């Protein structure tokens, strides 16, 4: 049964960080506005620089974060580690990896979940939905 508080909640604000517009578009396209009927709709905030990630976090407008681990010059894993060290409470973080073998780096960054690039819409969506379910407050 769906929690009635979640049904009436406003959209979850998802920050998508990548220096590549095509990566941000792939993430947003894979999730869509409503990836799961038991969760609120999603709204997206696209950012291309690490300073903007922290500006949005400081503004308090972020419910979940998706970081491109391959972003340049600031990779998503370093940004995730800094978020976990400095933001309390820290929103749930999913890091996109260039290679599945880089999972150990994501563990170091304390990311809550990972997915690999290129974005596979089915796998990515289910991973992100599971992240939201397990970190729901």
Beta-carbon-side half-sphere exposure of residue 77 (alpha carbons within 13 Å) = 16
pLDDT-derived band at 5 (thresholds 50, 70, 90) equals very low
pLDDT in tens, 47-86: 999 999 999 999 998 999 999 999 999 999 999 999 999 9
pLDDT of amino acid 9: 54
In the chain, the percentage of residues whose pLDDT exceeds 70 is: 93
24: its two tokens? 């941000």
- The superfamily CATH assigns to domain 17-135 is Response regulator (3.40.50.2300)
pLDDT at 10 over 90: no
Taking the complete model, does pTM exceed 0.75, yes or no?
yes
pLDDT at 95 over 60: yes
């Amino acid at each position: 049964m769906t929690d009635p508080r979640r049904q009436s909640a406003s959209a979850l604000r998802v920050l998508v960080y990548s220096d590549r517009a095509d990566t941000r578009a792939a993430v947003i396209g894979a999730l869509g506005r409503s990836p799961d009927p038991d969760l609120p709709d999603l709204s997206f905030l696209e950012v291309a620089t690490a300073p903007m990630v922290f500006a949005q976090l400081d503004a308090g407008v972020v419910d979940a974060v998706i970081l491109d681990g391959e972003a340049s010059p600031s990779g998503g894993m370093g940004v995730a580690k800094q978020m976990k060290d400095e933001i309390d409470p820290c929103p749930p973080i999913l890091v996109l990896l260039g290679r599945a073998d880089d999972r150990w780096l994501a563990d170091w960054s304390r990311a809550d979940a990972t997915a690999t690039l290129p974005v596979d819409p089915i796998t990515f969506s289910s991973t992100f939905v599971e992240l939201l379910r397990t970190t729901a407050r």
